């Protein structure tokens, strides 16, 4: 009897982070990506748990690209016993050497900071998911491969990579196993993407797994020149306000795209040559990788991008702190969703300033600090402090490294005919549902599946995928994005103001006592419920 190919989703299903798919054929096991969950504290807690499979049983990982939501749990995978190769492009291998080591350092620093917080006194100590040394050990297992070259990641499998047009080194993954032909999109880049050529790949597959990040959104078509015009307008307005322009940005690709456009605008004298501070040691290292691959990049046009004298990389924490004394500066800092790194430090010092500007240039996942600010919060909580939002909050969508709705539909059409099923992952539920509906209207005969974390599907040639294991409700709930800790942060950040608005101290005390009684009643209810259960 022929062996059956199975596919399990361990992340990025009905959510946009934690990408991890397990393909199994008999005793062979291949992962496509092994990413970190980002967003709400509850979703991030999944990083610390079991993978849903035995790392020692995995033969190989095929990595689509270096973004942490696709690569960030590789060090944990290795630490937990994975010893096989990590197949990826050479550029991706260079990038994750910097990305994963930085991730390990950030986790060590974040854990130390959380454990020092006064509001955590008496709680159990946090431990890092992995360390910098764990990350460096994982990088040693990289096995670079050229796009278009067939390789065998495990017995019974063969694979090759195709340009995904997303970031430097990014790839879609074509897999053949058990007589089944599969395409995993990875993250697909948009039209008019700086540096990268358009996505490519073959057609006629049994099954296609496609990302859906912007499945519910059509962006205004924008050439690189139109995007630069938008940036010019925002920078000029920020300079006029007199404060700092803070741009939360991803160290990989987004920072380099911004530097490309700022260099062009300054070269053409459309912007004054003001200092641009890149407050991210990781962005410095990634920019050097871009310089190393400059011959493979499009759109440079002779511009001085990677060695521009107006671009100043901050080397250490003391240099970063000195930026607090500036006004009228342009500061790019990671992370792009404001969940970690030096950007939180700059938000602490600039969100409350009327003359400062916060400019978002990337996707903000549900539950992240960036999404909370962008959605109009009047006050946010950062590192245990309440910070009022007075700065101008601005956004440019044209820098997205993801294809929008129309571009995703076009990429899927270019893979047709899809004779088995199309599976939509790496998207929030609204984005996936909108894209699913449009696909079904366009091709009613197409079998579209929307997997959840923890589900397993049987994949056969020419037949729709069959679900053979369902997800747990607890995991499904975590993908909603906005969890109780987000609600607590919103409640706590506004609590003092609401108490101050009460007529007198007696009313404030009464309100606090009532809140305490509510919490006590919940605790008593749970205790009584537990007692009843034990005595049955």
Question: d(Cα 436, Cα 216) in Å, to the nearest integer?
Answer: 10
Report strand pairing: 20-25 vs 28-32. antiparallel
SS (H, E, C) 259-319: HHHHHHHHHCCCCCCCCEEEECHHHHHHHHHHHHCHHHCCCCCCCCCCCCCCEEECCCHHH
CATH 3.60.15.10 fits 5-9+15-218+401-478, yes or no: yes
Tell me if residue 25 falls in helix, strand or coil: strand
Exposure string over 60-74, b if 16+ CB within 10 A, otherwise e = bbbbbbbbbbbbbbb
What's the pLDDT tens digit per position in 241-252? Answer: 999 999 999 999
Q: Name the residue ranges covered by the structural domains of the chain.
A: 5-9+15-218+401-478, 224-395, 484-530
The secondary structure of 403-468, three-state, reads CEHHHHHHHHHHHCCEEEEEEEECCCHHHHHHHHHHHHHHCCCCCEECCCCCCEEEECCCCCCEEE
Q: Exposed (0-12), middle (13-18) or buried (19+): which is 463, by Cβ within 10 Å?
A: middle
pLDDT above 90 covers a percentage of the chain that reads: 74
Across residues 47-64, what is the average pLDDT? 96
**Residue 319 binned pLDDT confidence (cut-offs 50, 70, 90):** very high
DSSP-derived secondary structure for 339-381:
SSSTHHHHHHHHTT-TT-EEEE-S---TTSHHHHHHTT-SEEE
Q: What is the pLDDT of residue 492?
A: 63
pLDDT digits (tens, 9 = 90+) for 350-361: 999 999 999 999
Specify the length of the chain in residues: 536
Per residue in 489-531, pLDDT (tens digit) is 556 656 777 788 788 888 888 888 888 888 888 766 666 666 6
Chain-centroid distance of CA 239 in Å reads 30
pLDDT band at 118 (very low <50, low <70, confident <90, very high): low
Name beta bridge partners: 359.
Answer: 394
Burial class (CB in 10 A: 0-12, 13-18, 19+), 308: middle
Residue 324: the pLDDT is 87
Q: Which residue has the higher pLDDT, 48 or 124?
A: 48
Q: d(Cα 372, Cα 87) in Å, to the nearest integer?
A: 36
Q: What's the pLDDT tens digit per position in 381-401?
A: 998 899 999 999 999 988 889
Average pLDDT over residues 76-97: 98
Q: Does residue 417 have a cis peptide bond before it, meaning omega lies within 30 degrees of 0?
A: yes
| 131: its two tokens | 């360390």
Q: What is the CATH number of domain 224-395?
A: 3.40.50.10890
């Amino acid at each position: 009897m022929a062996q059956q190919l199975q596919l399990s989703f361990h992340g990025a299903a009905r959510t946009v982070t934690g990408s991890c798919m397990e393909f199994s054929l008999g005793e062979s096991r291949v992962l496509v990506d092994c990413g970190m969950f980002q967003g709400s504290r509850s979703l991030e807690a999944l990083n610390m748990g079991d993978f849903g499979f035995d790392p020692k049983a995995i033969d190989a990982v095929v990595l689509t690209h270096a973004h942490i939501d696709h690569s960030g749990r590789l060090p944990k995978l290795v630490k937990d016993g994975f010893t096989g190769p990590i197949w990826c492009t050479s550029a991706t291998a260079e990038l994750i050497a910097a990305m994963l080591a930085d991730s390990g350092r950030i986790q060590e620093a974040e854990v130390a900071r959380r454990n020092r917080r006064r509001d955590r006194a008496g709680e159990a100590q946090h431990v890092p998911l992995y360390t910098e040394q764990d990350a460096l050990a994982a990088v040693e297992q990289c096995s670079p491969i050229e796009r278009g070259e067939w390789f065998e990641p495990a017995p019974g499998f063969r694979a090759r990579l195709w340009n995904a047009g997303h970031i430097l080194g990014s790839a879609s993954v074509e897999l053949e196993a058990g007589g089944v032909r599969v395409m995993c999109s990875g993250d697909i880049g948009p039209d008019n993407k700086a540096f990268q050529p358009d996505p490519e790949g073959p057609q006629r597959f049994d099954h296609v797994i496609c990302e859906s990040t912007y499945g519910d959104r059509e962006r205004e078509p924008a050439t690189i020149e139109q995007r630069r015009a938008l940036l010019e307008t925002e920078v000029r307005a920020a300079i006029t306000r007199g404060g700092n322009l803070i741009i939360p940005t991803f160290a990989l690709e987004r920072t380099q795209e911004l530097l490309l456009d700022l260099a062009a605008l300054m070269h053409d004298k459309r912007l004054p040559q003001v200092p641009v501070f890149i407050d991210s040691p990781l962005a410095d290292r990634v920019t050097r990788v871009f310089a190393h691959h400059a011959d493979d990049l499009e759109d440079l046009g002779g511009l001085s991008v990677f060695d521009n004298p107006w671009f100043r990389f901050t080397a250490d924490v003391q240099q970063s702190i000195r930026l607090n004394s500036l006004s009228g500066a342009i500061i790019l800092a990671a992370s792009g969703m404001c969940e970690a790194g030096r950007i939180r430090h700059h938000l602490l010092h600039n969100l409350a300033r009327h003359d400062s500007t916060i400019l978002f240039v990337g996707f903000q996942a549900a539950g992240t600090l960036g999404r909370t600010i962008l959605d109009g919060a009047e006050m946010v909580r950062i590192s245990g402090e309440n910070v009022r939002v007075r700065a101008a909050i601005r956004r440019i969508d044209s820098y997205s490294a993801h294809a929008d709705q129309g571009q995703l539909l076009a990429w899927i059409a270019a893979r047709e005919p899809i004779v088995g099923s199309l599976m939509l992952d790496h998207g929030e539920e609204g984005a996936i549902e909108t894209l699913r509906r449009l696909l079904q209207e366009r091709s009613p005969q197409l079998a579209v599946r929307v997997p959840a974390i923890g589900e397993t599907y049987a994949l056969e040639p020419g037949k729709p995928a069959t679900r053979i294991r369902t997800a747990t409700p607890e995991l499904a709930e975590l993908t909603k994005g906005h969890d109780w800790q987000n609600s607590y942060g919103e409640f706590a950040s506004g609590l003092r103001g609401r108490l101050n608005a009460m007529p007198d101290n007696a009313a404030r005390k009464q309100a606090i006592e009532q809140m305490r009684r509510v919490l006590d009643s919940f605790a008593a209810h749970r205790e009584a419920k537990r007692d009843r259960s034990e005595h049955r």
